[in-house]
Structure 1
Amino acid sequence: MTLTQPSRTGARVERLPLARFTTLGVGGEAEVWFVSDHDQLAEAMEAPYRILGGGSNLVIADEGVPERVIRLTGPFAETDLTPDPGLSDGETVVTGWVGGGVPLPGLIRRLQKLGLSNLEGTVGIPAQVGGAVWMNAGTRYGETFDGLHTLEIVTPGSRRQVTPDDLDWGYRASGIPRNHIVARVRLKLRRSTPEEVQARMEFADSARKGQPKMKTPGCAFKNPGGVSAGRLIDEAGLKGTRVGNAMIAPEHANFIVNLGGANSADVHALLGIIRERVGVPLELEYELWPEEG
Protein backbone atom coordinates (compact mmCIF):
# COMPACT_ATOMS: atom_id res chain seq x y z
CA MET A 1 0.00 0.00 0.00
CA THR A 2 1.34 3.43 -0.96
CA LEU A 3 -0.13 6.57 0.54
CA THR A 4 -0.44 9.48 -1.87
CA GLN A 5 -0.86 13.22 -1.36
CA PRO A 6 -4.12 14.00 0.51
CA SER A 7 -6.84 15.60 -1.58
CA ARG A 8 -7.90 19.19 -0.93
CA THR A 9 -11.45 18.03 -0.04
CA GLY A 10 -10.34 15.35 2.41
CA ALA A 11 -10.82 12.24 0.24
CA ARG A 12 -8.56 9.33 1.18
CA VAL A 13 -6.27 8.48 -1.73
CA GLU A 14 -4.05 5.37 -1.88
CA ARG A 15 -2.30 3.36 -4.53
CA LEU A 16 -3.61 -0.18 -4.12
CA PRO A 17 -3.89 -3.51 -5.96
CA LEU A 18 -7.38 -3.67 -7.48
CA ALA A 19 -7.53 -7.47 -7.13
CA ARG A 20 -8.58 -7.03 -3.50
CA PHE A 21 -11.77 -5.24 -4.61
CA THR A 22 -12.94 -7.80 -7.20
CA THR A 23 -14.80 -11.10 -6.89
CA LEU A 24 -12.37 -12.69 -9.39
CA GLY A 25 -9.32 -11.64 -7.37
CA VAL A 26 -7.41 -10.35 -10.39
CA GLY A 27 -6.13 -6.87 -11.21
CA GLY A 28 -3.05 -4.64 -10.90
CA GLU A 29 -2.58 -1.35 -9.09
CA ALA A 30 -4.27 2.01 -9.48
CA GLU A 31 -4.75 5.22 -7.53
CA VAL A 32 -7.90 4.63 -5.49
CA TRP A 33 -10.04 7.55 -4.26
CA PHE A 34 -12.37 6.83 -1.33
CA VAL A 35 -15.02 9.56 -1.52
CA SER A 36 -17.78 10.24 1.00
CA ASP A 37 -19.49 13.44 -0.21
CA HIS A 38 -20.23 15.33 -3.40
CA ASP A 39 -17.25 17.69 -3.02
CA GLN A 40 -14.85 14.78 -2.78
CA LEU A 41 -16.56 13.07 -5.70
CA ALA A 42 -16.27 16.22 -7.82
CA GLU A 43 -12.55 16.47 -7.09
CA ALA A 44 -11.98 12.80 -7.89
CA MET A 45 -13.65 13.33 -11.25
CA GLU A 46 -11.29 16.19 -12.23
CA ALA A 47 -8.91 13.69 -13.87
CA PRO A 48 -9.70 10.54 -15.92
CA TYR A 49 -11.46 8.07 -13.64
CA ARG A 50 -13.31 4.80 -13.30
CA ILE A 51 -15.89 3.78 -10.68
CA LEU A 52 -15.45 0.49 -8.81
CA GLY A 53 -18.28 -0.95 -6.76
CA GLY A 54 -18.60 -4.53 -5.55
CA GLY A 55 -16.08 -5.75 -8.12
CA SER A 56 -18.26 -8.45 -9.68
CA ASN A 57 -18.71 -8.72 -13.43
CA LEU A 58 -15.24 -7.22 -13.86
CA VAL A 59 -11.87 -8.37 -15.22
CA ILE A 60 -9.01 -5.94 -14.59
CA ALA A 61 -5.68 -6.12 -16.43
CA ASP A 62 -2.65 -7.38 -14.53
CA GLU A 63 -0.93 -4.03 -15.05
CA GLY A 64 -3.88 -2.17 -13.51
CA VAL A 65 -5.31 0.98 -15.08
CA PRO A 66 -3.86 4.49 -15.42
CA GLU A 67 -7.07 6.26 -14.41
CA ARG A 68 -8.15 7.14 -10.89
CA VAL A 69 -10.47 4.51 -9.41
CA ILE A 70 -13.35 5.89 -7.32
CA ARG A 71 -14.92 4.03 -4.40
CA LEU A 72 -18.11 5.38 -2.76
CA THR A 73 -17.95 5.44 1.06
CA GLY A 74 -19.52 7.21 4.05
CA PRO A 75 -22.98 8.65 3.26
CA PHE A 76 -22.68 7.20 -0.26
CA ALA A 77 -22.72 3.77 1.43
CA GLU A 78 -25.68 4.43 3.74
CA THR A 79 -29.32 3.39 3.48
CA ASP A 80 -32.51 5.26 4.35
CA LEU A 81 -35.53 3.01 3.87
CA THR A 82 -37.98 5.40 5.53
CA PRO A 83 -41.13 5.64 3.37
CA ASP A 84 -41.65 9.01 1.72
CA PRO A 85 -45.19 9.97 2.88
CA GLY A 86 -45.81 12.07 -0.22
CA LEU A 87 -45.03 9.24 -2.64
CA SER A 88 -45.95 6.10 -0.71
CA ASP A 89 -49.46 4.66 -0.36
CA GLY A 90 -51.16 1.48 0.81
CA GLU A 91 -49.50 -0.70 -1.82
CA THR A 92 -46.29 1.14 -2.66
CA VAL A 93 -43.31 2.37 -0.64
CA VAL A 94 -40.92 4.94 -2.06
CA THR A 95 -37.87 5.11 0.19
CA GLY A 96 -35.35 7.74 1.14
CA TRP A 97 -31.93 7.71 -0.51
CA VAL A 98 -29.86 4.53 -0.80
CA GLY A 99 -26.18 5.17 -1.58
CA GLY A 100 -24.51 3.75 -4.65
CA GLY A 101 -21.87 2.19 -2.40
CA VAL A 102 -24.39 0.11 -0.42
CA PRO A 103 -23.79 -3.65 -0.82
CA LEU A 104 -26.75 -5.17 -2.63
CA PRO A 105 -26.89 -8.46 -0.63
CA GLY A 106 -27.25 -6.62 2.69
CA LEU A 107 -29.91 -4.33 1.24
CA ILE A 108 -31.93 -7.33 0.03
CA ARG A 109 -31.80 -8.86 3.51
CA ARG A 110 -33.06 -5.62 5.08
CA LEU A 111 -35.92 -5.38 2.60
CA GLN A 112 -36.92 -8.97 3.35
CA LYS A 113 -37.14 -8.27 7.08
CA LEU A 114 -39.34 -5.25 6.35
CA GLY A 115 -41.58 -7.23 4.00
CA LEU A 116 -40.77 -5.01 1.03
CA SER A 117 -40.78 -6.63 -2.40
CA ASN A 118 -39.52 -5.92 -5.96
CA LEU A 119 -35.78 -6.61 -5.63
CA GLU A 120 -35.64 -10.18 -4.35
CA GLY A 121 -34.96 -11.40 -7.90
CA THR A 122 -31.45 -9.95 -7.52
CA VAL A 123 -30.68 -12.14 -4.49
CA GLY A 124 -27.13 -13.45 -4.44
CA ILE A 125 -25.62 -10.85 -6.77
CA PRO A 126 -22.40 -9.59 -5.08
CA ALA A 127 -22.67 -6.01 -6.30
CA GLN A 128 -23.03 -2.55 -4.84
CA VAL A 129 -26.21 -0.64 -5.62
CA GLY A 130 -24.59 1.79 -8.07
CA GLY A 131 -23.00 -0.96 -10.13
CA ALA A 132 -26.15 -3.08 -10.07
CA VAL A 133 -28.12 -0.11 -11.40
CA TRP A 134 -25.51 0.76 -14.03
CA MET A 135 -25.71 -2.70 -15.63
CA ASN A 136 -29.28 -3.47 -14.53
CA ALA A 137 -28.02 -6.58 -12.77
CA GLY A 138 -30.50 -9.39 -12.29
CA THR A 139 -31.53 -12.98 -12.77
CA ARG A 140 -34.33 -14.65 -14.67
CA TYR A 141 -36.56 -13.78 -11.69
CA GLY A 142 -36.02 -10.04 -11.60
CA GLU A 143 -33.64 -7.14 -12.23
CA THR A 144 -32.52 -3.99 -10.48
CA PHE A 145 -34.77 -1.64 -12.42
CA ASP A 146 -37.81 -3.49 -11.00
CA GLY A 147 -37.29 -1.54 -7.77
CA LEU A 148 -36.13 1.93 -8.82
CA HIS A 149 -37.99 5.22 -8.40
CA THR A 150 -35.30 7.93 -8.79
CA LEU A 151 -31.60 7.87 -9.66
CA GLU A 152 -29.04 10.55 -8.88
CA ILE A 153 -26.42 10.56 -11.64
CA VAL A 154 -23.19 12.53 -11.35
CA THR A 155 -20.82 13.58 -14.14
CA PRO A 156 -17.76 15.88 -13.96
CA GLY A 157 -19.96 18.86 -14.75
CA SER A 158 -23.40 18.02 -13.40
CA ARG A 159 -25.58 16.27 -10.88
CA ARG A 160 -29.11 15.34 -11.92
CA GLN A 161 -32.01 13.18 -10.84
CA VAL A 162 -33.77 10.96 -13.37
CA THR A 163 -36.40 8.23 -13.34
CA PRO A 164 -36.29 4.87 -15.14
CA ASP A 165 -38.65 6.37 -17.74
CA ASP A 166 -35.89 8.82 -18.68
CA LEU A 167 -33.48 6.01 -19.56
CA ASP A 168 -33.28 3.49 -22.38
CA TRP A 169 -32.80 0.52 -20.09
CA GLY A 170 -33.18 -3.18 -20.83
CA TYR A 171 -31.54 -6.59 -20.40
CA ARG A 172 -28.24 -6.06 -18.53
CA ALA A 173 -28.22 -2.40 -19.57
CA SER A 174 -29.33 0.85 -17.93
CA GLY A 175 -28.75 3.31 -20.73
CA ILE A 176 -26.42 5.26 -18.40
CA PRO A 177 -23.17 6.22 -20.18
CA ARG A 178 -19.89 4.77 -18.95
CA ASN A 179 -18.47 7.95 -17.36
CA HIS A 180 -21.62 8.66 -15.32
CA ILE A 181 -21.73 7.64 -11.65
CA VAL A 182 -24.89 6.41 -9.90
CA ALA A 183 -24.33 8.19 -6.58
CA ARG A 184 -27.61 7.18 -4.92
CA VAL A 185 -31.14 5.99 -5.67
CA ARG A 186 -34.61 5.96 -4.20
CA LEU A 187 -36.41 2.62 -4.31
CA LYS A 188 -39.98 1.89 -5.36
CA LEU A 189 -41.16 -1.21 -3.53
CA ARG A 190 -44.34 -3.20 -3.04
CA ARG A 191 -45.65 -3.93 0.44
CA SER A 192 -45.64 -7.64 1.21
CA THR A 193 -44.66 -9.74 4.24
CA PRO A 194 -41.26 -10.99 5.38
CA GLU A 195 -42.44 -14.56 4.83
CA GLU A 196 -43.59 -13.96 1.26
CA VAL A 197 -40.42 -12.08 0.33
CA GLN A 198 -38.29 -14.83 1.88
CA ALA A 199 -40.11 -17.48 -0.13
CA ARG A 200 -39.50 -15.59 -3.37
CA MET A 201 -35.84 -15.11 -2.45
CA GLU A 202 -35.43 -18.83 -1.83
CA PHE A 203 -37.12 -19.65 -5.14
CA ALA A 204 -34.83 -17.26 -7.03
CA ASP A 205 -31.76 -18.47 -5.16
CA SER A 206 -32.53 -22.10 -5.97
CA ALA A 207 -31.60 -21.39 -9.59
CA ARG A 208 -28.07 -20.54 -8.44
CA LYS A 209 -27.35 -23.84 -6.70
CA GLY A 210 -25.38 -25.16 -9.65
CA GLN A 211 -23.14 -22.12 -9.87
CA PRO A 212 -19.47 -22.37 -8.82
CA LYS A 213 -18.41 -21.34 -5.33
CA MET A 214 -14.85 -20.29 -6.27
CA LYS A 215 -13.71 -16.77 -7.12
CA THR A 216 -15.56 -15.64 -10.25
CA PRO A 217 -16.83 -12.41 -11.82
CA GLY A 218 -20.18 -14.09 -12.60
CA CYS A 219 -21.60 -14.94 -16.01
CA ALA A 220 -19.12 -14.30 -18.81
CA PHE A 221 -21.51 -13.79 -21.74
CA LYS A 222 -25.01 -12.48 -22.26
CA ASN A 223 -27.59 -14.97 -23.49
CA PRO A 224 -27.82 -14.50 -27.29
CA GLY A 225 -31.39 -14.18 -28.50
CA GLY A 226 -32.82 -15.83 -25.41
CA VAL A 227 -30.62 -18.94 -25.81
CA SER A 228 -28.49 -19.90 -22.81
CA ALA A 229 -24.87 -18.92 -23.35
CA GLY A 230 -23.88 -21.55 -20.78
CA ARG A 231 -25.60 -24.26 -22.78
CA LEU A 232 -23.83 -23.20 -25.98
CA ILE A 233 -20.44 -23.26 -24.25
CA ASP A 234 -21.24 -26.63 -22.70
CA GLU A 235 -22.30 -28.07 -26.07
CA ALA A 236 -18.95 -26.91 -27.47
CA GLY A 237 -17.30 -29.25 -24.94
CA LEU A 238 -15.54 -26.50 -23.02
CA LYS A 239 -16.52 -27.21 -19.42
CA GLY A 240 -13.38 -27.67 -17.35
CA THR A 241 -11.08 -26.08 -19.95
CA ARG A 242 -8.14 -24.51 -18.15
CA VAL A 243 -5.57 -21.86 -19.02
CA GLY A 244 -3.03 -21.25 -16.29
CA ASN A 245 -5.01 -20.97 -13.05
CA ALA A 246 -8.28 -19.91 -14.67
CA MET A 247 -10.91 -22.46 -15.68
CA ILE A 248 -14.32 -22.67 -17.32
CA ALA A 249 -16.34 -23.96 -14.38
CA PRO A 250 -17.42 -27.61 -14.54
CA GLU A 251 -20.62 -26.66 -12.69
CA HIS A 252 -21.75 -23.98 -15.17
CA ALA A 253 -20.01 -23.29 -18.48
CA ASN A 254 -20.79 -19.54 -18.51
CA PHE A 255 -18.59 -18.96 -15.45
CA ILE A 256 -14.82 -18.57 -15.40
CA VAL A 257 -13.24 -19.23 -12.01
CA ASN A 258 -9.93 -18.41 -10.36
CA LEU A 259 -8.38 -21.62 -9.05
CA GLY A 260 -5.84 -19.57 -7.11
CA GLY A 261 -3.21 -17.31 -8.60
CA ALA A 262 -4.95 -16.76 -11.93
CA ASN A 263 -4.17 -13.61 -13.86
CA SER A 264 -6.02 -11.49 -16.38
CA ALA A 265 -4.17 -13.06 -19.32
CA ASP A 266 -5.49 -16.50 -18.31
CA VAL A 267 -9.06 -15.21 -18.28
CA HIS A 268 -8.72 -13.43 -21.62
CA ALA A 269 -7.33 -16.61 -23.18
CA LEU A 270 -10.39 -18.57 -22.03
CA LEU A 271 -12.73 -15.90 -23.38
CA GLY A 272 -10.97 -16.19 -26.74
CA ILE A 273 -11.30 -19.97 -26.77
CA ILE A 274 -15.03 -19.72 -26.07
CA ARG A 275 -15.60 -17.19 -28.84
CA GLU A 276 -13.63 -19.32 -31.28
CA ARG A 277 -15.40 -22.59 -30.47
CA VAL A 278 -19.02 -21.47 -30.01
CA GLY A 279 -20.86 -21.22 -33.31
CA VAL A 280 -22.70 -17.94 -32.67
CA PRO A 281 -21.46 -14.45 -31.74
CA LEU A 282 -21.39 -13.90 -27.98
CA GLU A 283 -21.50 -10.51 -26.26
CA LEU A 284 -19.48 -10.15 -23.07
CA GLU A 285 -21.35 -9.61 -19.83
CA TYR A 286 -18.03 -8.94 -18.10
CA GLU A 287 -16.66 -5.41 -18.12
CA LEU A 288 -13.00 -5.34 -19.08
CA TRP A 289 -10.47 -2.80 -17.75
CA PRO A 290 -9.08 -1.59 -20.10
CA GLU A 291 -11.72 -2.20 -22.74
CA GLU A 292 -11.26 -4.44 -25.79
CA GLY A 293 -9.96 -2.80 -28.95
Structure 2
Amino acid sequence: MSVSASRTGAKVERQPLARYTTLGVGGESEIWFVSTLEQLGEAMEQPYRILGGGSNLVIHDSGVPERVIRLVGPLAERDLRADPDLSSDTEIVTGWVGGGVPLPGLVRQLQKLGLSNLEGTVGIPGQVGGSVWMNAGTRFGEMFDGLHTIEIVTPEGAKQVTPADLDWGYRQSGIPRGHVVSRVRLKLRRDTPEAVLARMDHADQARKGQPKNKTPGCAFKNPGGVSAGKLIDEAGLKGTRVGNAMIAPEHANFIVNLGGATAADVHALLGIIRERVAVPMELEYELWPEQL
Protein backbone atom coordinates (compact mmCIF):
# COMPACT_ATOMS: atom_id res chain seq x y z
CA MET A 1 0.00 0.00 0.00
CA SER A 2 1.48 3.34 -1.03
CA VAL A 3 1.79 5.76 1.90
CA SER A 4 3.35 8.86 0.39
CA ALA A 5 4.60 10.39 -2.81
CA SER A 6 8.30 10.77 -3.57
CA ARG A 7 9.42 13.81 -5.55
CA THR A 8 12.12 11.70 -7.24
CA GLY A 9 9.83 8.79 -8.14
CA ALA A 10 10.79 6.26 -5.47
CA LYS A 11 8.07 3.75 -4.57
CA VAL A 12 7.05 4.08 -0.91
CA GLU A 13 4.91 1.45 0.84
CA ARG A 14 4.10 0.14 4.31
CA GLN A 15 4.77 -3.58 4.50
CA PRO A 16 5.74 -6.19 7.11
CA LEU A 17 9.53 -6.39 7.22
CA ALA A 18 9.30 -10.11 8.02
CA ARG A 19 8.86 -10.86 4.32
CA TYR A 20 12.31 -9.36 3.63
CA THR A 21 14.34 -11.16 6.31
CA THR A 22 15.86 -14.63 6.36
CA LEU A 23 14.55 -15.13 9.91
CA GLY A 24 11.01 -14.21 8.90
CA VAL A 25 10.21 -11.81 11.76
CA GLY A 26 9.69 -8.06 11.81
CA GLY A 27 6.71 -5.73 12.00
CA GLU A 28 5.24 -3.30 9.48
CA SER A 29 7.28 -0.24 8.51
CA GLU A 30 7.59 2.35 5.74
CA ILE A 31 9.76 0.99 2.93
CA TRP A 32 11.41 3.11 0.24
CA PHE A 33 12.30 1.21 -2.93
CA VAL A 34 15.03 3.32 -4.57
CA SER A 35 16.61 2.75 -7.97
CA THR A 36 18.79 5.84 -8.46
CA LEU A 37 21.26 7.86 -6.41
CA GLU A 38 18.81 10.77 -6.56
CA GLN A 39 16.05 8.64 -5.01
CA LEU A 40 18.50 7.30 -2.44
CA GLY A 41 19.48 10.84 -1.51
CA GLU A 42 15.85 11.81 -0.98
CA ALA A 43 15.17 8.71 1.14
CA MET A 44 18.16 9.59 3.33
CA GLU A 45 16.78 13.06 4.14
CA GLN A 46 14.87 11.61 7.10
CA PRO A 47 16.01 9.00 9.68
CA TYR A 48 16.43 5.71 7.83
CA ARG A 49 17.74 2.17 7.88
CA ILE A 50 19.05 0.11 4.97
CA LEU A 51 17.55 -3.33 4.42
CA GLY A 52 19.46 -5.59 2.06
CA GLY A 53 18.94 -9.32 1.88
CA GLY A 54 17.64 -9.39 5.45
CA SER A 55 20.23 -11.84 6.78
CA ASN A 56 22.08 -11.29 10.06
CA LEU A 57 19.09 -9.21 11.20
CA VAL A 58 16.44 -9.43 13.93
CA ILE A 59 13.69 -6.79 13.59
CA HIS A 60 11.30 -5.97 16.42
CA ASP A 61 7.76 -7.29 16.14
CA SER A 62 6.42 -3.71 15.99
CA GLY A 63 8.81 -2.75 13.17
CA VAL A 64 10.90 0.43 13.29
CA PRO A 65 9.92 4.13 13.19
CA GLU A 66 12.53 5.08 10.59
CA ARG A 67 12.25 4.79 6.83
CA VAL A 68 13.55 1.46 5.56
CA ILE A 69 15.46 1.68 2.27
CA ARG A 70 15.83 -1.11 -0.27
CA LEU A 71 18.00 -0.82 -3.40
CA VAL A 72 16.24 -1.94 -6.59
CA GLY A 73 16.43 -1.40 -10.36
CA PRO A 74 19.82 -0.17 -11.60
CA LEU A 75 21.15 -0.29 -8.02
CA ALA A 76 20.46 -4.03 -8.08
CA GLU A 77 22.11 -4.73 -11.44
CA ARG A 78 25.63 -5.94 -12.29
CA ASP A 79 28.19 -5.27 -15.01
CA LEU A 80 30.84 -7.97 -14.83
CA ARG A 81 32.66 -6.95 -18.00
CA ALA A 82 36.37 -6.29 -17.52
CA ASP A 83 37.33 -2.62 -17.49
CA PRO A 84 40.15 -2.56 -20.11
CA ASP A 85 41.91 0.35 -18.42
CA LEU A 86 42.14 -1.42 -15.05
CA SER A 87 42.40 -5.10 -15.98
CA SER A 88 45.27 -7.37 -17.01
CA ASP A 89 45.65 -10.86 -18.46
CA THR A 90 45.35 -12.47 -15.02
CA GLU A 91 43.26 -9.96 -13.06
CA ILE A 92 40.13 -8.07 -13.99
CA VAL A 93 38.34 -5.12 -12.50
CA THR A 94 34.64 -5.19 -13.32
CA GLY A 95 32.12 -2.53 -14.09
CA TRP A 96 29.75 -1.45 -11.34
CA VAL A 97 27.84 -4.02 -9.28
CA GLY A 98 24.83 -2.60 -7.42
CA GLY A 99 24.51 -2.85 -3.66
CA GLY A 100 21.11 -4.49 -4.13
CA VAL A 101 22.52 -7.47 -6.09
CA PRO A 102 21.92 -10.77 -4.25
CA LEU A 103 25.28 -12.19 -3.21
CA PRO A 104 24.52 -15.92 -3.78
CA GLY A 105 23.56 -15.36 -7.42
CA LEU A 106 26.59 -13.15 -8.00
CA VAL A 107 28.98 -15.78 -6.62
CA ARG A 108 27.46 -18.46 -8.86
CA GLN A 109 27.70 -16.22 -11.92
CA LEU A 110 31.37 -15.45 -11.21
CA GLN A 111 32.07 -19.17 -10.97
CA LYS A 112 30.55 -19.82 -14.39
CA LEU A 113 32.71 -17.02 -15.82
CA GLY A 114 35.86 -18.48 -14.24
CA LEU A 115 36.38 -15.48 -11.97
CA SER A 116 37.86 -16.03 -8.52
CA ASN A 117 38.24 -14.15 -5.20
CA LEU A 118 34.68 -14.32 -3.82
CA GLU A 119 34.00 -18.08 -3.82
CA GLY A 120 34.78 -18.19 -0.09
CA THR A 121 31.52 -16.33 0.54
CA VAL A 122 29.43 -19.13 -1.00
CA GLY A 123 26.29 -19.85 0.97
CA ILE A 124 26.07 -16.41 2.60
CA PRO A 125 22.60 -14.93 2.08
CA GLY A 126 22.21 -11.21 1.63
CA GLN A 127 23.02 -8.51 -0.85
CA VAL A 128 26.29 -6.99 -1.98
CA GLY A 129 25.89 -3.67 -0.16
CA GLY A 130 25.22 -5.15 3.26
CA SER A 131 27.82 -7.87 2.76
CA VAL A 132 30.45 -5.22 2.01
CA TRP A 133 29.34 -3.03 4.91
CA MET A 134 29.92 -5.86 7.41
CA ASN A 135 32.69 -7.59 5.40
CA ALA A 136 30.68 -10.80 5.39
CA GLY A 137 32.61 -14.01 4.99
CA THR A 138 33.54 -17.46 6.16
CA ARG A 139 36.86 -18.99 7.12
CA PHE A 140 37.38 -19.55 3.40
CA GLY A 141 37.15 -15.90 2.38
CA GLU A 142 35.43 -12.54 2.83
CA MET A 143 34.02 -9.71 0.74
CA PHE A 144 37.13 -7.54 0.91
CA ASP A 145 39.07 -10.29 -0.91
CA GLY A 146 37.36 -9.15 -4.11
CA LEU A 147 36.84 -5.39 -3.86
CA HIS A 148 38.49 -2.72 -5.99
CA THR A 149 36.29 0.37 -5.47
CA ILE A 150 33.36 1.08 -3.17
CA GLU A 151 30.81 3.80 -3.84
CA ILE A 152 29.44 5.15 -0.55
CA VAL A 153 26.46 7.49 -0.26
CA THR A 154 25.78 9.84 2.65
CA PRO A 155 23.10 12.55 2.92
CA GLU A 156 25.79 14.93 1.66
CA GLY A 157 26.39 12.94 -1.55
CA ALA A 158 28.33 10.03 -3.06
CA LYS A 159 32.04 9.31 -2.91
CA GLN A 160 34.29 6.48 -4.03
CA VAL A 161 36.86 4.80 -1.78
CA THR A 162 39.16 1.78 -2.00
CA PRO A 163 39.79 -0.89 0.65
CA ALA A 164 43.09 0.85 1.42
CA ASP A 165 41.11 3.91 2.53
CA LEU A 166 39.19 1.92 5.18
CA ASP A 167 40.12 0.34 8.50
CA TRP A 168 38.53 -2.98 7.64
CA GLY A 169 38.92 -6.35 9.33
CA TYR A 170 37.05 -9.37 10.66
CA ARG A 171 33.33 -8.79 10.06
CA GLN A 172 33.70 -5.04 9.76
CA SER A 173 34.47 -2.71 6.88
CA GLY A 174 35.29 0.52 8.64
CA ILE A 175 32.39 2.20 6.80
CA PRO A 176 30.55 4.35 9.37
CA ARG A 177 26.89 4.08 10.16
CA GLY A 178 24.84 6.51 8.11
CA HIS A 179 26.77 5.55 4.97
CA VAL A 180 25.20 3.34 2.28
CA VAL A 181 27.15 1.07 -0.06
CA SER A 182 25.42 1.83 -3.36
CA ARG A 183 27.79 0.12 -5.83
CA VAL A 184 31.17 -1.60 -6.00
CA ARG A 185 33.75 -2.60 -8.57
CA LEU A 186 35.13 -6.10 -8.09
CA LYS A 187 38.79 -7.13 -8.35
CA LEU A 188 38.95 -10.75 -9.53
CA ARG A 189 41.47 -13.33 -10.69
CA ARG A 190 40.98 -15.27 -13.90
CA ASP A 191 40.71 -19.04 -13.39
CA THR A 192 38.78 -21.94 -14.82
CA PRO A 193 35.12 -22.44 -13.89
CA GLU A 194 36.04 -25.95 -12.73
CA ALA A 195 38.73 -24.73 -10.32
CA VAL A 196 36.46 -22.05 -8.86
CA LEU A 197 33.64 -24.58 -8.46
CA ALA A 198 35.95 -27.00 -6.65
CA ARG A 199 36.82 -24.34 -4.07
CA MET A 200 33.15 -23.42 -3.70
CA ASP A 201 32.23 -27.05 -3.14
CA HIS A 202 34.95 -27.37 -0.50
CA ALA A 203 33.66 -24.30 1.34
CA ASP A 204 30.05 -25.44 0.94
CA GLN A 205 30.78 -28.90 2.36
CA ALA A 206 32.04 -27.28 5.56
CA ARG A 207 28.62 -25.64 5.94
CA LYS A 208 26.55 -28.80 5.55
CA GLY A 209 25.92 -29.02 9.29
CA GLN A 210 24.09 -25.72 9.32
CA PRO A 211 20.31 -25.69 9.85
CA LYS A 212 17.80 -25.54 7.01
CA ASN A 213 15.08 -23.61 8.88
CA LYS A 214 14.72 -19.86 8.59
CA THR A 215 17.65 -18.22 10.38
CA PRO A 216 19.56 -14.93 10.38
CA GLY A 217 22.87 -16.85 10.39
CA CYS A 218 25.42 -17.08 13.19
CA ALA A 219 24.24 -15.39 16.39
CA PHE A 220 27.63 -14.56 17.95
CA LYS A 221 31.13 -13.78 16.74
CA ASN A 222 33.83 -16.25 17.72
CA PRO A 223 35.51 -14.81 20.85
CA GLY A 224 39.29 -14.87 20.65
CA GLY A 225 39.33 -17.52 17.93
CA VAL A 226 37.20 -19.93 20.00
CA SER A 227 34.07 -21.30 18.31
CA ALA A 228 30.98 -19.57 19.67
CA GLY A 229 28.91 -22.59 18.62
CA LYS A 230 31.16 -24.88 20.67
CA LEU A 231 30.77 -22.69 23.77
CA ILE A 232 26.98 -22.65 23.42
CA ASP A 233 26.93 -26.40 22.83
CA GLU A 234 29.09 -27.03 25.91
CA ALA A 235 26.59 -25.00 27.94
CA GLY A 236 23.99 -27.62 27.00
CA LEU A 237 21.82 -25.23 25.03
CA LYS A 238 21.35 -27.02 21.72
CA GLY A 239 17.64 -27.50 21.09
CA THR A 240 16.57 -24.92 23.70
CA ARG A 241 13.29 -23.40 22.60
CA VAL A 242 11.33 -20.26 23.41
CA GLY A 243 8.00 -20.06 21.62
CA ASN A 244 8.70 -21.01 18.02
CA ALA A 245 12.37 -20.00 18.05
CA MET A 246 15.03 -22.59 18.83
CA ILE A 247 18.79 -22.91 19.21
CA ALA A 248 19.48 -25.23 16.30
CA PRO A 249 20.33 -28.86 17.17
CA GLU A 250 22.61 -28.95 14.09
CA HIS A 251 24.75 -25.95 15.11
CA ALA A 252 24.42 -24.13 18.43
CA ASN A 253 25.39 -20.71 17.06
CA PHE A 254 22.23 -20.58 14.95
CA ILE A 255 18.75 -19.59 16.10
CA VAL A 256 15.99 -20.84 13.82
CA ASN A 257 12.35 -19.98 13.21
CA LEU A 258 10.27 -23.14 13.45
CA GLY A 259 7.28 -21.27 12.03
CA GLY A 260 5.56 -18.28 13.58
CA ALA A 261 8.45 -17.23 15.81
CA THR A 262 8.58 -13.65 17.05
CA ALA A 263 11.48 -11.31 17.63
CA ALA A 264 10.67 -11.54 21.35
CA ASP A 265 11.27 -15.32 21.19
CA VAL A 266 14.68 -14.73 19.60
CA HIS A 267 15.67 -12.06 22.12
CA ALA A 268 14.75 -14.43 24.95
CA LEU A 269 17.07 -17.11 23.52
CA LEU A 270 19.90 -14.60 23.14
CA GLY A 271 19.45 -13.70 26.80
CA ILE A 272 19.61 -17.35 27.84
CA ILE A 273 22.84 -17.85 25.89
CA ARG A 274 24.46 -14.81 27.49
CA GLU A 275 23.44 -15.99 30.96
CA ARG A 276 24.71 -19.56 30.49
CA VAL A 277 27.95 -19.01 28.53
CA ALA A 278 30.70 -17.73 30.82
CA VAL A 279 32.82 -16.23 28.03
CA PRO A 280 31.59 -12.78 26.89
CA MET A 281 30.60 -12.95 23.23
CA GLU A 282 29.85 -10.14 20.80
CA LEU A 283 26.56 -10.40 18.96
CA GLU A 284 26.82 -11.09 15.23
CA TYR A 285 23.18 -10.18 14.61
CA GLU A 286 22.09 -6.62 13.98
CA LEU A 287 19.08 -5.72 16.12
CA TRP A 288 16.41 -3.27 14.96
CA PRO A 289 15.99 -1.22 17.11
CA GLU A 290 19.25 -1.62 19.00
CA GLN A 291 17.70 -0.88 22.39
CA LEU A 292 14.37 -2.49 23.20
- Normalised by the length of structure 1, the TM-score is 0.99
What code does the residue aligned with 1:126 have?
Answer: P
SS in 2 for 1:3: coil
- For the residues of structure 2 that align with 1:63 and 1:4, how far apart are their CA atoms? 18
What code does the residue aligned with 2:207 have?
Answer: R
Q: Which runs of 5+ in 2 are unaligned?
A: none
1:71 aligns with 2:70: yes
- For the residues of structure 2 that align with 1:68 and 1:142, how far apart are their CA atoms? 33
- For the residues of structure 2 that align with 1:256 and 1:288, how far apart are their CA atoms? 14
Aligned to 1:9: 8
SS in 2 for 1:15: strand
1:91 aligns with 2:90: yes
Report the aligned-residue RMSD: 0.7
Residue deviations 1:35-82 (CA, integer Å, cap 9, x gap): 000111111011000000000000000010000000000100000001
Residue deviations 1:71-111 (CA, integer Å, cap 9, x gap): 00010000000101111001111000000000001101110
| Residues 229-268 of structure 1 mapped to structure 2, 5 A cutoff | 229-268=228-267
Aligned to 1:115: 114
- For the residues of structure 2 that align with 1:68 and 1:118, how far apart are their CA atoms? 34
**What's the CA shift for 1:292?**
3.3
**What's the CA shift for 1:211?**
0.2
Aligned to 1:227: 226
Aligned to 1:162: 161
Count of residues in correspondence between the two structures: 292
- Identical residues among aligned pairs (%): 80
Aligned to 1:178: 177
**What's the CA shift for 1:3?**
1.6
**What's the CA shift for 1:207?**
0.8
What code does the residue aligned with 1:239 have?
Answer: K
Aligned to 1:22: 21
- For the residues of structure 2 that align with 1:3 and 1:164, how far apart are their CA atoms? 39
Residue deviations 1:144-166 (CA, integer Å, cap 9, x gap): 00000000000001210000000
SS in 2 for 1:169: coil
- Normalised by the length of structure 2, the TM-score is 0.99
Q: Which runs of 5+ in 1 are unaligned?
A: none
**What's the CA shift for 1:178?**
1.6
1:134 aligns with 2:110: no
Aligned to 1:197: 196
Residue deviations 1:157-188 (CA, integer Å, cap 9, x gap): 12100000000110110011121100000000
Structure 1: 4+ residue segments shifted above 3 A: none
**What's the CA shift for 1:205?**
0.4
- For the residues of structure 2 that align with 1:292 and 1:96, how far apart are their CA atoms? 39
- For the residues of structure 2 that align with 1:262 and 1:178, how far apart are their CA atoms? 29
